[in-house]
Amino acid sequence: MGLYGGSLDGIEGPKTKRALDQFQRNSGLKRTAMLDPQTLDTLVGNPGIGNGSSMSRDADHAKSLTHPAASSSNLGD
């Protein structure tokens, strides 16, 4: 989409936050500069899944995309 020009290092740094903020602005989303459930849903083509709740049903999957060890199925093991 041309919003991010940094390296793909898995770190949510200032360039990532600027790109997320711009994407949210362009998409009419609440501007959090974070990969929240609504932003993820819009990025992957499922807008509306997270509407009306604080978490998308895919929120656990979203965590696993950026931090594989952080999914709730791994918590408490």
Q: What is the pLDDT of residue 71?
A: 45
Is 64 within a domain? yes
Q: How many domains does the chain have?
A: 1
Q: What is the pLDDT of residue 67?
A: 52
Contact call for residues 62 and 35 (beta carbons, < 8 A)? yes
Residue 1 pLDDT grade (very low, low, confident, very high; cuts 50, 70, 90): confident
* CA–CA dist 15, 6 (Å, integer): 7
Amino acid at 53: S
Top-confidence residue, 36 or 47: 36
Structural domain of residue 70, as residue ranges? 26-50+57-77
Is 12 within a domain? no
* CA–CA dist 18, 53 (Å, integer): 25
Looking at the chain, the whole-number percentage of residues with pLDDT higher than 90 is 42
